């Protein structure tokens, strides 16, 4: 799968985990030379009026930090499994 380091609409992440309001997602990327790298995003959902939004890289205090740590540990384990497979 050859694509660049940007998320393209319609490309499903290889890993996607939501922990309450915190989401960790990961995409596998491969260069035309066969080099593989992983693009990981961290975001937080929030409601503004009736609409839901996502704030990339934004956390709301210690509870969100704990969820982010758990999500990042999960994506780390996922990538390690993919690399050793």
Which token pair is 25? 């997602």
Mean pLDDT of 62-75: 97
Residue 4 binned pLDDT confidence (cut-offs 50, 70, 90): very low
Average pLDDT over the chain reads 89
Tokens read off for 58: 């934004």
Confidence band (pLDDT; 50, 70, 90) for 8?
low
CB-based contact 44:58 (threshold 8 Å): yes
The pLDDT tens digits of the residues spanning 27-45 come to 999 999 999 999 999 999 9
How does DSSP assign 47-84, residue by residue?
EETTEEEEEET---HHHHHHHHHHHHHHHHHHHHHHHH
CA distance 53 to 80: 31
Instruction: Pull the structure tokens for residue 45.
Output: 């959902």
Tokens standing for 66? Answer: 């704990």
Q: What is the pLDDT of residue 79?
A: 97
Closest by CA position to 4, among listed 30, 42, 36, 33: 30
Query: How do the domains of the chain map onto residue ranges?
Result: 15-84
Q: Would you state the pLDDT for residue 9? A: 57
């Amino acid at each position: 799968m050859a694509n660049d380091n940007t998320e393209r609409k319609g490309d499903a992440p290889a890993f996607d985990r939501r922990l309450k309001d915190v989401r960790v997602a990961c995409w596998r990327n491969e260069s035309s030379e066969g080099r593989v790298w992983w693009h990981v995003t961290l975001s937080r959902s929030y409601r503004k009026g009736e609409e839901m939004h996502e704030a990339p890289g934004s956390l709301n205090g210690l509870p969100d930090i704990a969820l982010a740590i758990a999500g990042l540990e999960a994506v780390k384990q996922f990538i390690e499994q993919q690399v050793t497979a």
